[in-house]
Each structure stands twice: as C-alpha cells, then as structure tokens.
Amino acid sequence: MRSAERVAVIGTGLIGTSIAMAGARAGDQVRGFDADPDALSGAVERAGLTPATDLDECVRGATIVFVCTPIPVAAELVVEALDLAPDAVVSDVASVKSHVMVEVELRARVDGLSRYVGGHPMGGSERSGPDHASPSVLDGIVWVVTPAERSDDASIARLEGWVSRVGARPIRMDAERHDRLVAMVSHLPQVASTALMGLAASEEAGEPEILLLAAGGFRDLTRLAASNPHLWSDILLANGAAIGRAIDLYVERLEALRDLVVAEDGGGVESAFAEAKTARLQLAAKPQVRAGVAVLQVPVPDRPGVLAELTSTMGEAEVNIEDLQIVHSPEGGLGTVHLTVAVDTVEAAERALHERWFESTRLA
Amino acid sequence: MRSAERVAVIGTGLIGTSIAMAGARAGDQVRGFDADPDALSGAVERAGLTPATDLDECVRGATIVFVCTPIPVAAELVVEALDLAPDAVVSDVASVKSHVMVEVELRARVDGLSRYVGGHPMGGSERSGPDHASPSVLDGIVWVVTPAERSDDASIARLEGWVSRVGARPIRMDAERHDRLVAMVSHLPQVASTALMGLAASEEAGEPEILLLAAGGFRDLTRLAASNPHLWSDILLANGAAIGRAIDLYVERLEALRDLVVAEDGGGVESAFAEAKTARLQLAAKPQVRAGVAVLQVPVPDRPGVLAELTSTMGEAEVNIEDLQIVHSPEGGLGTVHLTVAVDTVEAAERALHERWFESTRLA
C-alpha cells in the first residue's frame, strides 16, 4: 500500500485547501495552484502548501490530483491534468458528477481516461475560502467516489485509499445515481426553499402584512433561499435532468396532499403526516452528515446558569464549541443541548462533561 | 375605557392558560374550565385561576370569553358561551377563522352574533399544555382580530382594547384574508416540509443510502414534518380552500423553476434565486414574530471559552437563556450569537452584557 502521495490541488478554496491540509497531515507532499492569486496566497498562509506559478508546475510529477474549482471549468482542468501528469490519478470534487464526467470523456485522450475517477466529499461548510479550511472539514465525512466507465481498478483503489487515509469514508456509486440522490436531498430542498420565499415575496407586493404572520416554520423553510444564486444556477443546470425529475415527484406529492385536503379526507391527511413524522424522527436520531465534527447530546435541566455551567466546562477543557443547539423537550424544560465540537476534541469534551456530572451521548 | 374585565377561559392549554395569566397580570378576574380535569388542575396550579366545574359556571357573569380549544369544537363552544353569558364579548383563538365563523353564524341566535369577534394570537410555542403557559407568551405578539359581518363596533373595540392592555398587538383583518395569508406563510410551509420528508422516505425504500447524502439544508426543510399529524389534519381541512390555492401557486413556482432548469436558462434561474435571496435577507432583518421573547444579537470572537463567558454572564444576572443560536459569519470566526430570553429579562440581559464588554443589539 502506497503510504505517501505527491498531491496537487487545483483551486485552493475551502475544500481544496482542506484537502491540501489533510494530505499534509497524513504525510503527503502537497502543491497547489489557483488562478486567483489571493486564494493561492491565502492557502499558503493557512495550509503552508507549496504554491505553483501555473497549472503545469502544480501537477507535474504529482501522483494524485484534485480539481476543486467551480463546476463550469472542472472538466477542462481534469483533462489538462491528465495530460500534464501522466502518472497521476485525477479526481474532482464537483457536487454534480455526470456532467463533469461526460465533458471529460468528450475531451480527454482515451489513454488518460483510465486515471480519471470523480468524487464528491459531502462536507464543506457554509463558510468559504482558504481561511476557513481545516483538515477536520474532511474527518469522518461521506466522500462519494464515482468511477467512470473507463476508470481502472487501480486508480479507483488509489483514490479510495487516499480518502480513507485522511479520515473520510469513501462510498462508491455511479455518477448518475449520485446525481439522482443529491437532486432529491440536496438540490430539491434548495429549489423548494427558493420557490416558497419567492412566492411569499410576490404575495407581499399585494399584501404588505403577510410576513407579520410568518413564524419560525416559515423561517426554517426559507433559510436556504439566502444561498448564492450564481453557484446554485451552475449546480442546477449541471444536474438538470435529475432535478427536473425530483421536482416532478415533489409536485406529485404536493398535489396528492392538496387533493386529500380538498376532498376533506382527514384520515388520509393524517396518515400522510404521520408517515412523514415517523421518517423525520428516524432522521433526527441518525448521525448528522457533517464535516469533521462530533455532536454530543447532553440532557440539561431548565434553570438559569445551566448553559453557563455547560459552556464553561468546555472552555476550561479548551474545547471550542462549533455549534450549540437547544432542543426543547415536548415535556418542557430546556430539554437537551446538542453540542458540536471538532472531532479531535470530542474525547476531551466527554471527559470534562463526565467530571461535571453531565451525561452525554455521542450522536455523530 | 373599561379597565378590568371578568375573563372566562374555555380550554386551559398553553394559550388558554397564558391568556388567563395575562388577564390576571392586568388586574382582571379570571375563571377557567377544561373538559380535561388534568389540564384544568394544571392551569390552577400554574396560573392560580379559579376553576369552574362546568361551562355554565365558567362563563356566567363574564364580560369577555376566550374559547381556546381545538378547532373542531370551537364554534359549538362559542355558541354556548354567547347564550350563557349575555353581557360578554366572545372570542376564540383558532388558527383558521372562516371555518369557525361560518359554523358560529349557522348555529348561534342572531341577537348574540353582534358579540362574537374571532381572533388569532400569532404566538404559542413548540411546547404545549398549561405547565408552559406564561403571560409573556403574549407579550408583543401580533394578535389578528377577525370581526364577523354582524360583530358590533363596541365588541370589536372591547376585544382589541383587551389585547392591547395585556401587551399584544391587535391587527384587524377579515377572516377570509387571515386564512389566505396563514395558508401561505404557515400552512403551506408545513405541507411543503411534510411532502419533502415523505418523498425522501419513499425514495429511501429503494435507495437505503440516500439519507447519507442529506445535509443541514434537508434537515432545516424537514424539521416541521415532525409536527402533530392530528392537529395539522384539523387545521388543513378547516382551511381547505385557501390551502388548495396556496399549494397550486407553489406548484406553479416549482414548475417555472423546473422549466428554467430544463431549458438551461442560467440567467433565468439565477435571477429567480437572486430575488428570493433578497427577500430572505430582508426577512432576516425583521423582528421575529415569536411569543414573549426577545432576541439579542451578540458578536463574538472565535476562541474557546467565549460562549462560556457569555452564558455565565447570563447565569450571574439570573437570566434564563430560552434559546441560543450560533450564526457563523461568512467571513469566518464564530460570528454572532442570537440569544433568546424572556421579554421581562431582556433589560437585565443587556445590562449584564454591557458590563462584560459584549456588544448587543435587540432584534425582537
């Protein structure tokens, strides 16, 4: 088993720089390039990677190349990397796979195609740019690996081996299936949120008071609508067929619910809601798919000062709280706190909680 | 101006008991009744209200009656209260107004109808039952007042006066308009969330790995799907026509987005997303409609211990933190904490933060 690689990263944003850092942590040599000099110098500062002055210098001699650019230029850079680095496995991290794969297959020399294996690390962060990169962004995440028809077994194994070595979890599926699944659970929620916010905004033109009546549920449903329009336009167009189908299936569900409501079929409405509720409660019990973090569930009583005790326990243990969510119990009281911490601090967090008599359960 | 009322509350769950407490705080005499003896004794314990042994004893001699029961029995109880309390203004708090109003108009004696004025306090909580009631549930909330055709001006003014006196904000609109607006911003989000969760669950039957690819956005969009099926079936059926129309408009929006995506109209997709983003950012800047709480926005640096400092500051000031949300900044760092506290503790919270050099801005 190959234990160290010469890694080239093209595109040193959040994911590219995190990949560079994870490789360096695992003992790899890492070189990076970005067409934007600020992104590149940010990555040098953050990750200590060796900057290349151009693509050629970046990938020459590499054994594994990651293309971490926006979707529209990913395929072109994969093809160049296959040419410039004849010994390297070349992968990309685009969030839509078939589109990139088809473009690569159209453009690349056939003898290079065996070394191309797509991938999609299901991590990241709502933050962007190299300054927020961290090897922990990849810790424990699902990294979908999508071999193309001509990818050879050795290249697939090299990519999967590297993914495991840096602490992520490779899951192999074909590109079409990946795209169909993310259309449903990632792209469709984005479309559903945007459509709801757009509809309420257009109603507001004639009904200025409408948003006075909007409460927490509306806010939850429309939070995603604040996402980057340009980025999402790229993603949706690249996955158009699967998204079209996901929207159609969603519209069918909505119309079925509408028909039950209009027909005053209370039993039918109630059983559709009960089915969704069961599924949602099961989802809540599953570990969150999130980058490099662990979630601790801590039951807490409802009294002033208890959160202070909890967070100062973390502070004293020098554990940085990445996120903290209060889950109110239906039986009342504060209920439960979900404490999100970096994976490499979770054991310290658990020890500290135990010493202060908090119970904790690791969710992810 | 009438300064004290004899208030009767029928149905002593979260809202009914909170109404009782708000009335008592404002100097009213309050009596309550609930068909469920546990709910009634819970309200006596929590709110110190005088329990009645039956409906007659509850409303006799009252000057204002609130029916706070589930929708299916609300109209019937309004009608009984109009008969039993001939001097009282009778209101209800059902979240769908036309349905209750039509039923009341069908059943009530015509000479009583002038004293019926519907209402909908847009507050509440994800908790339920008298144990979580508080007068602060109503502080500062929007309380929609929906007069019927025969409601007389004096009765409308009495209800609106009482709502203002306990600290809520009366907004008058007709029942049909109320139902149309809540269909869009409250009932439709519930349907959209349930449909998305139902769809993902049915896909999971054939694709067990699908939820491995679900991240935070999917969780946000499906959180509401865990709501009470029976309660929602009642609400949706009672507001069937408006909900049918809201779903149709939503489906139109979704199909328009689908058509843009399938036609590869990147500019069109981007501008639809940009419009929704602008609307969502405006919404985020508006005060949250939430019951009896204030939200403080506190910028915090990204270092271990800072949350501990923040929460122990609250603990020392004896301010109970109702909720705490970390808003990561796109520029990195912890960013901002949204601290939710009861309205009656917000000034103490602000003073304590100021003394410890935290900046804070009141959002709601």
Judge: A122–B233 Cβ closer than 8 Å, yes or no: no
* Residue A357 in tokens: 């008599």
Residues of B in contact with A226 (CB under 8 A): 277, 280-281, 284
- The per-residue pLDDT for B199 is 97
Judge: B181–A320 Cβ closer than 8 Å, yes or no: no
Residues of A in contact with B326 (CB under 8 A): 321-324
Note whether B187 contacts A: Cβ–Cβ < 8 A. no
Chain B residue with the nearest C-alpha to that of A173: B209
Cα–Cα distance, B32 to B10 (Å, whole number): 6
- In CATH, what class is A178-285? mainly alpha
Angle between helical axes of B229-238 and B240-262 (0-180°, round to 10): 100
A293-362 has CATH 3.30.470.20 classification = no
For chain B, positions 195-224, list CB contacts with chain A under 8 A: 195-201, 203-204, 207, 209-224
Nearest to A250 among B195, B306, B309 (CB): B195
Q: Which residues are within 8 A (CB) of B349 and not within 5 positions of it... i.e. 6 or more apart?
A: B294, B296, B314, B317, B319, B339, B341, B360
- The per-residue pLDDT for A102 is 96
Judge: A307–B324 Cβ closer than 8 Å, yes or no: yes
Distance from the Cα of B34 to chain A's closest Cα (Å) equals: 20
- The per-residue pLDDT for B125 is 57
- Given strand A29-33, what is the order of strands in its sheet? A50-51, A29-33, A6-10, A64-67, A89-92
Tens digit of pLDDT at every position of chain B (364 positions)? 456 899 999 999 999 999 999 999 999 999 999 999 999 999 999 988 899 999 999 999 999 999 999 999 999 999 999 999 999 999 999 999 999 999 999 999 999 999 999 999 987 655 678 888 888 788 778 899 999 999 999 999 999 999 999 988 899 999 999 999 999 999 999 999 999 999 999 999 899 889 888 877 888 899 889 888 998 999 999 999 999 999 999 999 999 999 999 999 999 999 999 999 999 888 765 544 445 677 888 888 766 678 888 888 888 888 888 777 776 543 445 567 878 888 888 899 999 998 888 888 887 5
B232, A273 contact by CB (below 8 A): yes
ipTM: 0.77
Q: If we measure between CA atoms, which residue out of A162, A300, A273, A354 comes closest to residue B311?
A: A300
Provide the residue ranges of all domains of chain A, joining segments of one domain with +. 6-173, 178-285, 293-362
Question: What does the DSSP 8-state code read for residue B116?
Answer: B
**pLDDT averaged over 10-residue windows placed end to end, chain A, 364 residues:** 84 94 93 96 92 96 96 96 97 96 95 96 72 82 94 97 92 96 96 97 91 82 88 94 97 98 97 93 60 76 77 86 65 66 87 88 73
Cα–Cα distance, B173 to A107 (Å, whole number): 63
Q: Which of B182, B271, B273 to probe the A interface (max A CBs under 10 A)?
A: B273
Note whether A231 contacts B: Cβ–Cβ < 8 A. no
Q: Which of A277, A323, A325 to probe the B interface (max B CBs under 10 A)?
A: A277
Q: Which of A231, A283, A353 to probe the B interface (max B CBs under 10 A)?
A: A283
Ordered alpha helix ranges (H), chain B: 14-25, 37-47, 55-59, 71-84, 98-107, 153-165, 175-182, 188-206, 216-222, 229-238, 240-262, 266-285, 306-316, 346-355
| Strand-pair partners of A307 | none
* Residue B211 in tokens: 């939820």
Cα–Cα distance, A258 to B243 (Å, whole number): 7
Backbone CA torsion sign across A345, A346, A347, A352:
positive
* CATH fold match for the domains A6-173 and A293-362: no
Chain A residue with the nearest C-alpha to that of B208: A181
B168, B141 contact by CB (below 8 A): yes
Distance from the Cα of A82 to chain B's closest Cα (Å) equals: 29
Chain A residue with the nearest C-alpha to that of B244: A258
Residues of A in contact with B214 (CB under 8 A): 185-186, 283, 289
* Amino acid symbol at A123: G
Note whether B106 contacts A: Cβ–Cβ < 8 A. no
Q: Which CATH number fits domain A6-173: 1.10.10.10, 3.40.50.720, 3.40.50.300, 3.90.1150.10?
A: 3.40.50.720
Nearest to B195 among A210, A213, A254 (CB): A254
Distance from the Cα of B353 to chain A's closest Cα (Å) equals: 14
Judge: A213–B288 Cβ closer than 8 Å, yes or no: no
